[in-house]
Structure 1
Amino acid sequence: MSTISAPDIASGRLAPEDYRANFGDIHPPLDRHQALVESDRCYFCYDAPCVAACPTSIDIPLFIRQIRTENPKGAAETILSQNILGGMCARVCPTETLCEEACVREAAEGKPVKIGLLQRFATDVLMETGEQPFVRAPSTGRRVAVVGAGPAGLAAAHRLAMHGHDVVIYDARPKPGGLNEYGIAAYKAPDGFAGAEVDFILSIGGITVENGKALGRDIALSELRGAYDAVFLGMGLAGVNALGLDGEELPGAEDAVDYIGRLRQTDDLAALPVGRRIVVIGGGMTAVDVAVQSRRLGAEEVTIVYRRDRAAMGASAYEQELAATDGVVIRHNAQPLRLVTEGGRVTGVVFERTRSEAGALAATGETFTLPADMVFKAIGQKLVPAAFEEPGAALTLKGGKIAVDEERRTTLSGVWAGGDCAATGEDLTVAAVADGRIAAESIHRALSAA
């Protein structure tokens, strides 16, 4: 095999105006006139399939009718009463496979009502006023600990505060927001929206956030159970799945989530180094996010390689099309066989082609090599059970996540869980918000009955 050229990793590949254009809002918001025109397309179905398709069960026909009657603030209250992170969900939810796919107009003419953009219009109008539409109930004197300041934890905290409970959120990172702040593509929520939404949620009062506090490192679950009336675990997935290949700890092999986090937190995109040739291993939303952002940082060749076919990819068809539009090449039916290393760093990946045999993945023996300046691992994250494994605090796991019932109660008395760390279903922002709200209502009922 020929020698692979030295890595080409550099910062400042683009002109300043290119960074601004590449990382601006990917979906410009609707203005008032556009929102009125789009809302007029809704049939306001009585038994609306879009509501059933929404994990948080927002009354979509109602909020669209409120927009149509020029009451966007009322529409926002309808949305936020079910999904307090409705602004972010309007930006990042795969609406094309949820509410909009279920829209009657999609079935009739292949052009659904733009529910996501209408939701964004309404919530933006309200957030721009700085008003908190929900009133905190008189204090109950009860205290609840929430672990994780991501979508699940924030949704739980806000609903618990509404009921008058005092909430303390513990989060391992320097800033609250979870993956909304650190993990999604910058062009989906520019201009500090994630932080602004957190401020809006906390403005209800009764919620304290303690950053830099990780479960299992700085705080113990047994300690929280002793100090609080209830505990909600919403810390997400801190572990990263490994490729299991020699050399993946060497320079040149990067964790996609960590890289996206650095990108999201930098004040100067031009200062972030990126390779000229990028290989991304994985097929989910994180793989697409890191691939597209690499292109927008100035990478010339970006290839996503996924071990199964297109239909099996975790990234939606829309996200795959976005990647292709940005010049990202997606190669299917290939799995990493070994990493190419030279001079103490990763410089490429050898892949083996695969095929499906009776539903199982089979290797074909045929290989190919992709040279790379940077190889991003985006094959999923995992729970780190050691964070809560301690005497007297045994949580049951299911499929590598925390087992919960329909009310998000764990097998440990006084402890609830939701979001990515819990075995509740899809790993979506909107699903995490639903988990937080459901758990909060369950906690409130339990505390009220005690």
Structure 2
Amino acid sequence: MPSPDIASGRLTELELSHNFSDAHPPLTHEQALVEAERCFYCYDAPCIEACPTSIDIPRFIRAIATGNMQGSARTILDSNILGGSCARVCPTEILCEQKCVHNTLEEGRPVRIGQLQRHATDWQMEHGGQPFQRAPGTGRRVAVVGAGPAGLACAHRLAMHGHEIVLYDRHAKAGGLNEYGVAAYKLSDDFAQKEIDFLLAIGGISVVGGKTLGVDFTVGELKSEYDAVFLSIGLTGVRQLELAGEELAGVQDAVAFIETLRSTPKTDVPVGRRVVVIGGGNTAVDAAVQARRLGADEVTLVYRRGAENMSATTVEREWAQTNGVTVKLWASPVAIVQQDGVLVGMDFARGSLNASGKPVYDTEDRLFVPADMVLKAVGQTFCHDPISKEDIAIENGRIMVDAEHRTSMTGVYAGGDCTPGEDLTVAAVRDGRDAAEAINAALSNAA
């Protein structure tokens, strides 16, 4: 039985539209010019090394400063075809902007690389359209499984080389986390789908939605039908708390909560009055802030260790707090509290570091946080069931690949979150791009 305090329509449509509008409005062209002129255009730029897709950042910023918007966008998109979404969702504060030399002169005032990247890519999408041309058809066909950032980047680069791509995804829409797993205010105005339309405009890519690996087809079947296969199936499993009462109404995965919010009219998304979010990553922050913006009276984000251990960046943590989210640290969940089958809150054991520097928790020293909704954001895992019977090596919960993104099955490649490495959108784009080049080389050599 759900709590009567979980309901939809807490706010008006106008209030929700305001709450989920663009969190960080774009720069005007005049602002972009001023910001671009701050760049030192370093020859051996550390910001380039910090970018997983190795965008030539000084070059694209110089192009903005000189009024060459098309050249700026081309420089970005040549390395990262999803440069528009990456400019919005990537933690630039710990990547390129953290390495900006301005930090040594003006602490905390790096060039706003992410905002400038957004400015250039938005200009291209609005004025220039798809900047790349498709090479003459090769007659080769490649299956890409998973239409998230890695799969989209792979498909686009392969299409540039003239191959035919069929892009499969279990969702009706392409986009992966950009469409279903990122806070709505980060990719507002249906930007994820606009970017996909822009990407697909190169031609040669067919999208087949609503098809699931392991249910509708196997890797072996795809391998027999296509010249190569690229797996970008992400992390579809979620960790559980392993506590009694986890099946109660009102207790749900934060990933599912965000997906519902992204795929349902916001007036129809139910939220509690008092919401507890468990976790310390960006998913936890996104869930907490969006719960607050849906109309929750109180939202408490609880993490088992200190702020320095959270995978959410300092900027994300501050964003949560400025949005009215209370953050409690050093508290580990020990019990889901219910009364007559109705969720009423969570019990946490308070923790600290012992003399050896290891976290310890005192189950006798409890913190009770009242709640009618609990969102679990304690980590995502790779679900290997769809490929468990295939000849594909898996270690430490990820698909193993070599430097060319080849799996242990000949002709099958993989990239993105389902393989070892950083769980970042920009890293997934890099994987997809680099795997496409490897696939193209293999197909060319086999011709």
- The TM-score with structure 2 as length reference comes to 0.97
Equivalent residue in structure 1 for 2:127, among 126, 129, 132 = 129
Q: SS in structure 1 opposite 2:185? A: helix
Rounded Cα–Cα distance in structure 2 between residues aligned with 1:131 and 1:113: 27
Equivalent residue in structure 2 for 1:16, among 9, 13, 17 = 13
- Give 1:224's aligned residue: 222
Rounded Cα–Cα distance in structure 2 between residues aligned with 1:107 and 1:405: 38
**What is the deviation of 1:343?**
3.1
| Aligned: 1:369 with 2:368 | yes
Rounded Cα–Cα distance in structure 1 between residues aligned with 2:342 and 2:180: 26
Q: Give, as a single letter, the amino acid of the residue that structure 2 aligns with 1:395.
A: I
Q: Give, as a single letter, the amino acid of the residue that structure 1 aligns with 2:437.
A: E
| Aligned: 1:447 with 2:443 | yes
Q: Give, as a single letter, the amino acid of the residue that structure 2 aligns with 1:183.
A: G
Q: Deviations over 1:177-218 (max 9, x none)?
A: 000000000000111000000111111011111101111011
Q: Deviations over 1:329-355 (max 9, x none)?
A: 111111110111233343211111122
Give the 3 Å change call, closer, same or farther, for CA 403–162 of structure 1 in structure 2. Answer: same
Counterpart mapping for 1:100-179 below 5 A: 100-110=97-107, 111-129=109-127, 131-179=129-177
Equivalent residue in structure 2 for 1:303, among 296, 300, 306 = 300
Q: Conserved in 1, the CA contact under 8 Å of 2:6 and 2:250?
A: no
- Give 1:290's aligned residue: 287
Q: SS in structure 2 opposite 1:431? A: helix
Q: Deviations over 1:14-42 (max 9, x none)?
A: 23332122111111101111111110000
- Give 1:280's aligned residue: 277
Counterpart mapping for 1:30-429 below 5 A: 30-110=27-107, 111-129=109-127, 131-267=129-265, 269-357=266-354, 358-365=356-363, 366-390=365-389, 393-423=390-420, 425-429=421-425
Q: Give, as a single letter, the amino acid of the residue that structure 1 aligns with 2:11.
A: L
**What is the deviation of 1:384?**
1.2
- Which stretches in structure 2 are left out of the alignment for 5+ residues? none
Q: Conserved in 1, the CA contact under 8 Å of 2:337 and 2:345?
A: yes
Q: Conserved in 2, the CA contact under 8 Å of 1:7 and 1:372?
A: no
Q: Deviations over 1:50-108 (max 9, x none)?
A: 00000000000000000011111211110000000000000001000000000001222
Q: How many residues align?
A: 442
Q: Give, as a single letter, the amino acid of the residue that structure 1 aligns with 2:213.
A: L
- Which stretches in structure 1 are left out of the alignment for 5+ residues? none
Rounded Cα–Cα distance in structure 1 between residues aligned with 2:7 and 2:244: 26
Q: Give, as a single letter, the amino acid of the residue that structure 2 aligns with 1:131.
A: G
Q: SS in structure 2 opposite 1:164? A: coil
Q: SS in structure 1 opposite 2:336? A: strand
Rounded Cα–Cα distance in structure 2 between residues aligned with 1:446 and 1:67: 37
**What is the deviation of 1:405?**
1.6
Q: SS in structure 1 opposite 2:256? A: helix
**What is the deviation of 1:166?**
0.8
**What is the deviation of 1:8?**
1.2
Q: CA RMSD in A?
A: 1.3
Q: Deviations over 1:233-285 (max 9, x none)?
A: 00111111111111112211011111111111123x22221111000011100
348-357 or 287-296, larger mean C-alpha shift? 348-357
Q: SS in structure 2 opposite 1:416? A: strand
**What is the deviation of 1:6?**
5.5
Q: Conserved in 1, the CA contact under 8 Å of 2:331 and 2:367?
A: no
Rounded Cα–Cα distance in structure 2 between residues aligned with 1:37 and 1:266: 39
Rounded Cα–Cα distance in structure 1 between residues aligned with 2:128 and 2:344: 50
**What is the deviation of 1:130?**
5.5
**What is the deviation of 1:371?**
1.3
Q: Give, as a single letter, the amino acid of the residue that structure 2 aligns with 1:161.
A: A
- The TM-score with structure 1 as length reference comes to 0.96
Q: Give, as a single letter, the amino acid of the residue that structure 1 aligns with 2:165.
A: V
Q: Deviations over 1:393-431 (max 9, x none)?
A: 2221222111112221112211111111111x1101000
Q: SS in structure 2 opposite 1:136? A: coil
Q: SS in structure 1 opposite 2:242? A: coil
